[in-house]
Amino acid sequence: MTKAIEGVIFCGYYDMQGEVLRKFRTGWYEELFMGVVKRICVVLQLLLFLCPGAVVQAQEKIAAYPPFMSGYISIKIFDNQSHFVGRILPEKRYWAPIDQIPTFLQNALVAIEDSRFYEHGGIDLRGVTRALVKDVVKGRMAEGGSTITQQLIKNKYFSGEKTLQRKFKEGILALEYERKYSKKQILEMYFNEVYFGNGAWGIVQAARLYFDKYPQELTEAECALLAGVPKSPVHYNPLGKPASIRDRKNIVLRRMKELKMITPAREKQLRARPIAVVQHGEASYYVAHIRNKLIERYGAEIIEQGGLDVITAMDLNLQRLAERFLREGIKRISSDLQGALLSLDPNTGDVLAVAGGTDFKLSNYNRAFFAKRQPGSAIKPLIYAAALEKGITAGSIWNDDPVAYPKNEHETWMPRNYGNEHAGNLPLRQALAYSNNIITVKLLEAIGVSDFVRFAGTLGLPLRSPNDLSLALGTDEVTLSDLMLAYTPLANGGIRPEARTIIRIYEKYRSNWTETPPVVNAVLPPAIAYVTTSMLKDVLSYGTAKSLLGFSKERPAAGKTGTTDDYRDAWFIGYTPQLITGVWAGYDKPKPMGKGFTGGAICAPIWGRFMRSALKDQPAADFPQPDSVISVQIDPTTGDLAAPGCPQRREEFFVMGTQPIQYCPNHGPAPDLAPVPTATATDAPPPNGSASPSPQ
């Protein structure tokens, strides 16, 4: 029976629409009325043949979701200066009974969507006729004439596709709903099922998202605005274009006036009344990370319970800079490339800014905290610090002649420098500045792989054990956050802080503050931290990040580039006494990018732009030299104390007790007096003829 009705209706509609459109376009206007009559007849046919056995009865309860929680308060996120950042809202859908939905909102919806809602039985013949006229005038299905009941059916059971088959089924179910439920029940279901844009399904989510209120707390102006949204949630939602939103709200109010639901004076008042919409929050990657931390602390149910004010370690100004400079720097290379930027206070571990990707809407994966990638040469400062702990000095001379290591019974492994270049003998300081691979492998061999893994562990960097000498080239995967935290002892004199994102939480339901103090541990002698940092200063002045020479002249800074052998990952981690920042770039699905995709070329410029803006209001400060560090003049070609005849000399830093005691034997006799260590030293450029820096 149902199929037969569908066939009659389809044939009748197509015949009517085609004939009326043809005759309307040729001037036969009298046929328009006949078209209207035919369309009404189609509806009457539907009513005539409708029988209880032809449809599926709607048996579900009215409330499809739990009732909303009384007294709920959104979780609000603030930065370290108590500036509002954003909210964490419930994810589940909740049900609002009709007595909790303002009468004004009910009237506004009826006025704009279905003014004869209380008069028809689910299908409005007048509305259908009116829609037909508009269809004919515009030459297409411009308006469907759907009632609120039909819209409810469409939202619950059908997609948005406009087909006659769907309209037929929609009409049958609408009639069935009108027999089964009261008008108030249908309105209640509608308000809890309709889409209000930006992921808000139902009036409970809409009131919370746009106004941070319960439905019953909405003002009349807010009700008028929301009533206009279902027509086109993309265009009319409260976060859309202000002009479109205002015009739509005014249309709703005008229609309410025409139906005498409000007076002209009231319409005028509501038109002029401003509406404060809660804007989208900022710092999406940071807020998402806070959400994870709250779940770790309180359990998953905290998101639905709410009631927290969270003071984070974030600096909102730095957060905005991080997102901007990362996005601009990465997209300058490729629209598909990804990246991450993380900035910490090296003394407390406070996470001041994090951009876990270039666009949170496209990908909410936080690469700063969770993406494990090979660090390449960015691992090298830790190896050099471990060497200092073993008594090796920054002035010691190392050779980068090729060397082969057994890989297995039949193969050997030969580490190579960038471009297969060889510099011969280099002071360890310059080997780090130039990111010399061969010397770093030899250095790791001298330290011992197992000892280095242990050393890295004390800095908080977990590495696989056992491992091999390829670890010197950064083959073990790490996260940006873990590697940066391992760098922090170099920046602050040997203290490793834990990363802190939450400073304090106010639990509103309990009126209770919970503090999260910084957690710091001494992991490295201050002298080793200082000498390593002095070596890393050279990376910016003449090494692989020499593009940052201008920055290093403005304020003391140290850092290291990182590039994997196959150019899949690029890094730069650098710091001043006040701030440590790391940048990573690469593809989520790793692929080689070719020469030129290096930490020095890609990440260092992003770091420089961010740091210059982040520190512009802070005075330049140098790293304090501990008493356990001395500096003496050496001959950089031998590593010995500089004799009077040495043509090259420089000030070098040493951990007390490791400084050279012999004078250079190559340039004349030693002086009569023992050298007097100096308290300070200034970085000098490498001697003429030194190796060129690798771009790693």
Catalytic residues: 113, 377
The three-state secondary structure class of 194 is coil
Give the single-character DSSP code of 493.
Answer: T
CA 266 and chain centroid, separation: 44
Q: Which of 297, 288, 289 is closest to 515 using CA atoms?
A: 297
Contact assessment for residue 598 and residue 376, using Cβ atoms and an 8 Å cutoff: no
| Cα diameter, the chain | 122
C-alpha–C-alpha distance, residues 224 and 269, integer Å: 12
Contact assessment for residue 434 and residue 691, using Cβ atoms and an 8 Å cutoff: yes
Alpha-carbon distance values, 578 to 81, 359, 369, 416 (Å): 17, 28, 21, 36
C-alpha–C-alpha distance, residues 557 and 574, integer Å: 7
CA 229 and chain centroid, separation: 28
**54 phi/psi in degrees, rounded to 5:** -90, -5
Residue whose pair of structure tokens reads 């003496």 in the numeric block: 632
Contact assessment for residue 192 and residue 148, using Cβ atoms and an 8 Å cutoff: no
Residue type, 522: A
C-alpha–C-alpha distance, residues 477 and 376, integer Å: 9
Contact assessment for residue 524 and residue 494, using Cβ atoms and an 8 Å cutoff: yes
Determine whether 2 is exposed, middle or buried from the number of CB atoms within 10 Å of its CB (0-12, 13-18, 19+).
middle
C-alpha–C-alpha distance, residues 485 and 467, integer Å: 21
Tell me if the bond preceding 97 is cis, omega within 30° of 0. Answer: no
The three-state secondary structure class of 460 is coil
Q: Which of 595, 535, 542, 597 is closest to 572 using CA atoms?
A: 597
Structure tokens at 512: 């209770």
H or E stretch covering 77: strand 75-78
Q: Quote helix, strand, coil % in the chain, to nearest 5.
A: 45, 15, 40
C-alpha–C-alpha distance, residues 273 and 269, integer Å: 6
Residue whose pair of structure tokens reads 């490793």 in the numeric block: 496
Q: How many helices (H) and strands (E) does the chain have?
A: 24, 18
The three-state secondary structure class of 103 is helix
In three-state form (DSSP H/G/I as H, E/B as E, the rest C), the secondary structure along 630-695 is: EEEEECCCCCCECCCCCCCCEEEEEECCCCCCCECCCCCCCCCCCCCCECCCCCCCCCCCCCCCCC
In three-state form (DSSP H/G/I as H, E/B as E, the rest C), the secondary structure along 115-166 is: CCCCCCCCCCHHHHHHHHHHHHHHCCCCCCCCCHHHHHHHHHHCCCCCCHHH
